[in-house]
Structure 1
């Protein structure tokens, strides 16, 4: 049943260009090259040393095509997951512009079943595709997650957030015309169902890096509310870009698009670990630490712990849990006295030969019996 739902969702969600706009061929020196299937498509220069054409194996047995464009001035790398109904042949010119204007290395790839990649398009295949590309960036190019920005356009926001949720030290994420989920795009509903795919609404809150959302206000394919919802649910939202009058496939034509992206990349380049930690603390609104016992009491209040109540904070030998807020333990605990050694809650006092006749269990002050013994003189009377 689950497989049937997955196939049904795939038919409604994936529209790879048919035929593909490019082909992959091997040159005489063994290097892979790109050949355009249409005269209107831009063709990468064969002797361009800044472009690597790659075939990457995935864990699901598919071979996917990837373009890696190198920039010698780059400090960061962008992993680009494209939208629906397009492939690398149509995106090559955009990749070149982004590489130059943003001053980054850029890795773009075709999903299984797109372009010259093998296999069939599906949600699970796209997850395996982006994981394989990320692993290739690590092993072959030495790119760490700290120097990586994930970019997801439309359907590409699904695999982007899937990977971003697994990388806690990622530098940043860009969601371009992103979706809350596949079902919410098709049916405009506010709930998830078994046929739903790319449940980004559940994954966005797991992303621990800055998230830039870009969306057109006149997007008639993925409503602007999707982008607004993703931005509001992000743990560390960056200043969003709402392009007035922008549609679903033309945001790159607006001047604000590249201008805002450059600003984001620049800030990500100059973001230090100290700044990131400060922003994370602010987003989580962590309370200020204090050395007073009152702050410890409030943090470890057993009123909030139903099954496992903590023991006395100042007296580790005390068998009775304490709580300054619980009505069943008068005046907080017996351990508020600084001079005690052992707690007198026990029915028998090991230092008392008279069966704990002086034990403070009968005393309204709730003192510790050892402290009382220390106050007794040799005649058995208490010193004042």
Structure 2
């Protein structure tokens, strides 16, 4: 990539909106609530996990789905075998033409997971198909955080999925977890693992010659680690942005603890040893939601881990919203 091309891509990022992470007092209250819930309700850890770990936006707040005939559809289960498109809600002051231009390179699919849920999937391609050979052979599957859905990643002049495709010069697939957006089912740890597996299998079936990189952000790193630990054919790399070691270690115990409780959830740290491809961890030194020590421990446990990227001053949001360009430069390498 030439200097001019690089500066053009970086200028796209500098127009993103930068939001700060949650204040520390909020995280302390959240941690206290988490531990109280587990102590008071030990028989139902999965229901507690749903309440604490998943915060999907209200359905319909960020996007709508329309069939080719213009009919609005409210559930992915009604889209099987049909052509449809996503219309993002205007969450910014951008003109409708900006949204139309953004969506021009977005393809939409529905997939049924092994657990029987129907999920919404999009594929975004770069504007110009002239990437270096290394990148042209790859595709990226992006697993998003716990409080967003596809509509929030389809907003002009924010960090969005089409922009990721442009920056990385390769196709990027993204999806809504079960219970998010218009995907059917309920949110759960088990479901997000089945969701990303369905997307991976779909890409492998449709594009068997492509090499796949998994990119997870926040809770998406748990989904990425679970899939990567199964050593699927076609996987060549893993990127984990702001990962956490496990639920208990995040909300009370130290990230370096060697013992994992049977009640623990999202035990990413225990899966790292089974991942046989290169792993890059990116973390902000100022992350109060998931302290940087979690990222360092995840990197330490990866057999093929590359030196992690620790971004000085970045918090849980700014590590991946465009404020710190080094995150995207490093991933692209």
Flag whether TM exceeds 0.5 (same fold): yes
Partner of 2:273: 205
Partner of 1:186: 251
| Per-residue Cα deviation, 1:13-38 (whole angstroms, up to 9, x for no partner) | 11111244112211239531112234
Say if 2:169 is the partner of 1:129. Answer: no
Superposition map of 1:171-320 within 5 A:
171-189=236-254, 190=257, 191-252=259-320, 253-263=323-333
The Cα of 1:50 is off from its aligned counterpart by: 3.0
Match of 1:16 among 56, 76, 88: 56
Say if 2:42 is the partner of 1:6. Answer: no
Give the greater-gyration-radius structure (CA).
1
Partner of 1:58: 113
Going from structure 1 to structure 2, the CA distance change for 1:143 and 1:117 (only over 3 Å counts) comes to farther
Partner of 2:123: 68
Q: TM-score, normalised by structure 1?
A: 0.63
Going from structure 1 to structure 2, the CA distance change for 1:132 and 1:258 (only over 3 Å counts) comes to same
| Per-residue Cα deviation, 1:93-112 (whole angstroms, up to 9, x for no partner) | 52122111111110001111
Give the Cα separation in 2 of the matches to 1:76 and 1:85: 28
Check conservation: 1:60, 1:128, Cα contact below 8 A.
yes
Give the Cα separation in 1 of the matches to 2:207 and 2:43: 36
Partner of 2:32: none
Say if 2:223 is the partner of 1:155. Answer: no
Q: TM-score, normalised by structure 2?
A: 0.73
Give the Cα separation in 1 of the matches to 2:93 and 2:153: 9
| Per-residue Cα deviation, 1:320-351 (whole angstroms, up to 9, x for no partner) | xxxxxxxxxxxxxxxxxxxxxxxxxxxxxxxx
SS in 1 for 2:119: strand
Say if 2:44 is the partner of 1:26. Answer: no
Going from structure 1 to structure 2, the CA distance change for 1:2 and 1:54 (only over 3 Å counts) comes to farther
Check conservation: 2:102, 2:162, Cα contact below 8 A.
no
Going from structure 1 to structure 2, the CA distance change for 1:226 and 1:143 (only over 3 Å counts) comes to farther
Give the Cα separation in 1 of the matches to 2:200 and 2:140: 11
Check conservation: 1:22, 1:116, Cα contact below 8 A.
no
Unaligned runs of 5+ in 2: 1-40, 71-81, 131-135
Unaligned runs of 5+ in 1: 264-384
Check conservation: 2:125, 2:162, Cα contact below 8 A.
no
Going from structure 1 to structure 2, the CA distance change for 1:150 and 1:3 (only over 3 Å counts) comes to farther
The Cα of 1:132 is off from its aligned counterpart by: 0.8
How many aligned positions are there?
A: 261
Give the Cα separation in 2 of the matches to 1:54 and 1:109: 9
